[in-house]
Amino acid sequence: MARLCTIRDVDWRGKTAVVRVDFNVPLGRQDGRVADDTRIRAALPTLQYLRQHGARVVLLSHLGRPDGKRDAKYSLQPVADRLGELLGSSCPFGSDCVGQAAQSAVRAIGPGEVVLLENVRFHPEEEANDPGFAADLARLGDVFVNDAFGTAHRAHASTEGLAHHLPAIAGLLMEKEIVTIGEALDNPKRPFVAVVGGAKVSSKLAVLENLIDRVDRLLIGGGMANTFLAARGEQVGRSLLEADLVPTARDLMRRGDKILLPSDVVVTTDLKAADTQPRACASDAVGPDEIIGDIGPRTAADFGQAIQAAGTVLWNGPMGIFEDPRFADGTLQVARAMAASRATTIVGGGESVQAVEQAGVADKLSHVSTGGGASLEFIEGKVLPGVAALRSDC
């Protein structure tokens, strides 16, 4: 794609940046404080650049799903408190994102200062991408900066609508996400290995279709691998299976020898009984009453070897029922293999990101995407509305 205009292309002296960030972070149930500030920290390079270059910085974000109504449990006030701690200076908070309260909060800051406004989803017009609401948001500043890759797949007023009212450019996080994942897809260091997991083929079919002709190896794990094992003629017992997609899986497997499936798996007869001891077995030795919960140790080693030999590795989706410790090892082994690889390593998707953090290796990877659903759709090859709205004519 063409180079996006970014915050580096603007003289910020005397200007106010309206920055869409993704501060949809978990809050502690007991104290209401930010429980995980990963997404806030990811936005800091953009905020620091704007501050250092004299911009007045107005931040917009959503938090949770308040369904267009004001709800105190979804207020961004705790996020403003945490952001102030990270910036090393107080971060004023505006009690609304439009209207007099918002305008007053913006007028109160000077060059190099930041204000966070209240949850844009307190207004139903946000998710409806209402032009009037977008125009109200645009009155807050001079330039629209989208740094919220995690919401770029949504055509909302604060992600796409604003671009019709103000010059729209990318923040540094948005640029990094688009360039890093885009380069991996279009110009990867070879061999290019993709690791795809998750529960269902149906949820990742577009990903598989977009990757199969781009990659050198496609490693498939998770519940979706069951459909491919069935396409290979193997029995999967009572495991999750999308029988209607077995022919599709078979067609994908016929497109060369790129796909590497599990050769062994970890199975159980009862997913709910935590004291039930799982067993590892060959993928073609699953009993009629057994359920596949993870890739087996031999498969994890095979996947690790493919990752070690790669020039680029793109990972989306866990290798098993990751939330159950009995079936987490395959996912964690993939995370450790990526950390030990010399390849360009990119992780996208909530559970995959959780896995690399749990394994303690996130800082050893080239890029851990903040995108979630946006990164998935980008890997699928879809046009993201929040990206398409940005300028490339700098």
State what percent of residues in the chain have pLDDT above 90: 84
The reply to whether 7-173 and 188-380 are identical in fold is yes
Q: Which pLDDT score, from 0 to 100, does residue 209 have?
A: 92
From the candidates 298, 373, 382, 391, give the one annotated as an active-site residue.
373
State the average pLDDT over residues 170-197. Answer: 94
Note whether 367 and 180 are within 8 A (CB).
Answer: yes
From the candidates 39, 121, 204, 258, give the one annotated as an active-site residue.
39
Residue ranges of domains in the chain: 7-173, 188-380
Residue 1 has pLDDT above 60, yes or no: no
Is 256 in the active site? Answer: no
Contact partners, residue 334, CB within 8 Å, separation at least 6: 195, 221, 300, 303, 304, 307, 315, 319, 355
Of the pLDDT bands very low, low, confident and very high (cuts 50, 70, 90), residue 276 is confident
Is 373 in the active site? Answer: yes
Is 88 in the active site? Answer: no
Residue 345 has pLDDT above 80, yes or no: yes
Burial 132-160 (b: 16+ CB within 10 A, else e): ebbbbbbebbbbbbbbbbbbbbbbbbbbb
From the candidates 214, 326, 350, 382, give the one annotated as an active-site residue.
350
From the candidates 15, 139, 200, 232, give the one annotated as an active-site residue.
200
Q: Which pLDDT score, from 0 to 100, does residue 195 have?
A: 96
Compute CA distances 242 → 249, 252, 267, whole Å: 10, 15, 18
Phi, psi angle pair for 43, to nearest 5°: -90, -10
97-148 per-position pLDDT tens digit:
999 999 999 999 999 999 999 999 999 999 999 999 999 999 999 999 999 9
Q: Which pLDDT score, from 0 to 100, does residue 375 have?
A: 87
Query: Which CATH number does 188-380 carry?
Result: 3.40.50.1260
Note whether 241 and 227 are within 8 A (CB).
Answer: yes
Q: What's the rounded Cα separation, in Å, for the pair 224 and 156?
A: 31
Quote the tokens at residue 265.
Answer: 């798996």
Q: What superfamily does domain 7-173 belong to in CATH?
A: Phosphoglycerate kinase, N-terminal domain (3.40.50.1260)
State what percent of residues in the chain have pLDDT above 70: 99
Q: Which pLDDT score, from 0 to 100, does residue 2 have?
A: 64
Is 350 in the active site? Answer: yes
DSSP 378-391: HHHTPPPHHHHTS-
Q: Whose CA is closest to 352, among 242, 236, 207? A: 207
Q: What's the rounded Cα separation, in Å, for the pair 300 and 47?
A: 40
